[in-house]
Amino acid sequence: MSDSPIDYILEANAVRRTFGGLTAVDVEHLQVQRNKITALIGPNGAGKTTFFNLLTGFDEPNQGNWTFDGHDMQGIAPHVAARMGMVRTFQLTKALSRMSVMENMLLGASGQKGERFFAGFGGGWRQQERENATRAEGLLDRFKLAHMRDELAGGLSGGQRKLLEMARALMTEPKMVMLDEPMAGVNPALKQSLLEHIKLLRDEGRTVLFVEHDMDMVREISDWVVVMAEGQVIAQGTADEIGADQRVIDAYLGARHDIDLGGGQ
CB of 186 to another protein, least distance (A): 19
CB of 153 to another protein, least distance (A): 8
75 scored as a contact of another protein (CB under 8 A): no
**Residues between 153 and 182 with contacts to another protein, criterion CB under 8 A:** 154-155, 168-169, 171-172
117 scored as a contact of another protein (CB under 8 A): yes
173 exposed, middle or buried (CB, 10 Å; 0-12, 13-18, 19+)?
A: middle
38 scored as a contact of another protein (CB under 8 A): no
Can you tell me the distance from the alpha carbon of 131 to that of 148, in angstroms, rounded to the nearest whole number? 20
Tell me the CA end-to-end span of the chain in Å, nearest whole number.
59
**Residues between 118 and 137 with contacts to another protein, criterion CB under 8 A:** 119-121, 125, 129
Report which secondary-structure segment, H or E, holds 211: strand 207-211
3 state SS of 226: strand
Which strands form 232-237's sheet, in the order they lie side by side? Answer: 86-88, 176-180, 207-211, 37-41, 224-229, 232-237
**Residues between 86 and 115 with contacts to another protein, criterion CB under 8 A:** 87-90, 94-99, 103, 106-108, 110, 112-115
Q: Which residues bind another protein (CB under 8 A)?
A: 56, 58, 77-80, 82-83, 87-90, 94-99, 103, 106-108, 110, 112-117, 119-121, 125, 129, 152, 154-155, 168-169, 171-172
